[in-house]
Structure 1
Amino acid sequence: MSNTVIESRQDAIAILRLNRPEKLNALNYELVDALLSALDRIEADPALRAIILTGAGDRAFSAGADIPEFAGSISHGVDTALRLFVRRGQALTSRIETFPKPIIVAVNGLAYGGGCEITEAAGLSIASDRARFAKPEVAIGIPPTFGGTQRLPRLAGRKRALELLLTGMDFGPERALELGLVNQVVPHDDLMAASLDLARRILEHAPEPVSAILRAVAHGLNVPIAEGLRIEGEQFARVAETPNTWEALSAWMDRRPPSYRSPI
């Protein structure tokens, strides 16, 4: 089993650490595959209800793709680079974006290139006050390839995204907050505590509506409003008659905590 991703648990929360600190947690193919495998395991485990994704060490969440490995793929032709690099990276960010359990990215340092794209794809993220972000792909002669040309404009708006995509300039956590890339900025030493607190506040609620909300937002965000409303109705139908919905409704009317709510 690859050690490029280290998994630990705190009750119902899985903590995944990108583990190449000597390479600033650069996303080589082995790490991407290991992260995809970890997501598959966590999705299948009903005891795990949320994920915190962060980087090993204090310098970086991820400084982006492993450039020497990627350059080797390009040397074998565009088709090889598309298959090994682009499609692998896009599969990872799409998996994160549509994952049925909440993923919180705890940005503990540099989030450049692919590291920034993972942050864009995740539904929630918290940044350390030491975090730095950048879209530097233009400097190595390529556009972003893990979804950065699509998700950043949707988060930040076209003009603000293009300024970052076309210059490659780095920016700090407060700018990331302004752009909608992160939910909050906290002191570096408080990053994990803040991420765990957010996860626990989500896990006070039943898993079925949490998953339904994640699906509705992920699939409805980029379709016309009529289609989005249809998706919303489908997600309501998935949960409306489940035991936890009836318990939540009864608890609300009885002015008591629902029985499924327990300390996390």
Structure 2
Amino acid sequence: MSDTVLLQISDGIALLTLNRPARLNALSYELIDWFLSLLDMLEVNDNVGAVIITGAGERAFSAGGDIHEFSGSVAKGANTAVRDFVRRGQRLTARLEAFPKPVIAAVNGLAYGGGCEITEAMHLAVASDRARFAKPEIKLGMPPTFGGTQRLPRLAGRKRALELLLTGDDFSAEHALQLGLVNSVVAHEELMPAARALAKRILRHSPLATQTIITAVTRGLNMSIAEGLLLEGEQFARMVPTPDLAEALEAWKERHRTEQAVKAVTG
């Protein structure tokens, strides 16, 4: 158990809050490990259909990796730093990206370094108009290590991503929207209502269909179009024997019959 990430569940939505506000919600090893444990638990919780992730306090979503802790690993050499820091962070972002339930970032403040990388990995993101983003790792003399050199170019394009990666300059929530890093920007006080509203729009639909779409998109991004189309067909085939598809098709046909009957009566 740890208080570095807090969990609340209501209305089928799990809210995970990164909870190190005095350290700008920096991603310590303990926080990442507990974060991964909570995701494991939520994946098998049938009462949870979507996950929202935000940061505690008014200043930060997450300012990135815990540099004090990370520098201790660096001092022990490359093997230790890669094992303790790089692999741990990449495990978290890969888990978020491939999570079978929709994961929504509610970016309430600074999202620097690893905080930006976990936002890149999540399926969807809503940002407060107070949010600021940055890829500042170059200022420490290193590349991003939680997937930032790979996911940001896929989201924003090579040249726009390289400008941010090579300068380390911070950028606004509106620019993050233009880059495709977030889906929307809202007034700060509307952040959580907007994130919950987005989750509820998804929860209207079949959980299994949602999962097949996430799988097809996440895995397909790293495939050729031909391989991706095969994957898409496989995910559709998963739905064919399910009541989810049968019931939805029958409901659609019933609505169509009703509409046709109304038209016949009203001329």
- Range into which the TM-score falls when normalised by the shorter chain: over 0.9
Taking the TM superposition and a 5 Å limit, the aligned residue runs for 1:22-37 are 22-37=22-37
Could you report, residue by residue, the CA deviation over 1:160-216 in whole angstroms, capped at 9, with x for unpaired residues?
Answer: 000000000000000000000000000000000000000000000010100000000
Cα distance between partner residues in 1 of 2:255 and 2:208: 21
CA distance in 2, matches of 1:10, 1:144: 35
Q: Using the TM superposition, give the Cα deviation of residue 133 of structure 1 relative to its aligned residue in structure 2, in angstroms.
A: 0.1
Name stretches of at least 5 consecutive residues in structure 2 with no aligned partner: 257-267
Q: Which residue of 2 aligns with 1:69?
A: 69
Pick the structure with greater CA Rg. 2
Identity %: 65
Greater fraction of residues in helix: 2
In structure 1, the residue matched to 2:105 is 105
SS of residue paired to 1:36: helix
Alignment correspondent of 1:214: 214
Deviations 1:10-69 (A, max 9, x none): 210000000000000000000000110010000011110100000011110000000010
C-alpha separation in 2, matches of 1:227 and 1:82: 32
Inter-partner Cα distance in structure 1 for 2:240 and 2:149: 37
The one-letter amino acid of 1:90's match is Q
Q: TM-score, normalised by structure 1?
A: 0.96
Instruction: Provide the secondary structure at the position in 2 that maps to 1:54.
Output: strand
Partner of 2:2: 2
Is the aligned partner of 1:167 residue 2:167? yes
C-alpha RMSD of matched pairs (Å): 0.7
Amino acid at match of 2:176: A
Count of residue pairs the alignment pairs up: 256
Partner SS state of residue 255, structure 1: helix
How much has 1:239 moved relative to structure 2? Answer: 1.2
1:132-180 CA-to-partner distances (Å, cap 9, x unmatched) read 0000000001100000000000000000000000000000000000000
> Structure 1 residue 9: deviation in Å?
1.1
The 5 A counterparts of 1:1-264 are 1-255=1-255
AA partner of residue 189 (structure 2): D
What stretches of structure 1 of length at least 5 have no aligned partner?
257-264
TM-score (norm 2): 0.95
Whichever residue aligns with residue 17 of structure 2, its letter is R
More displaced 10-residue stretch of structure 1: 169-178 or 233-242: 233-242
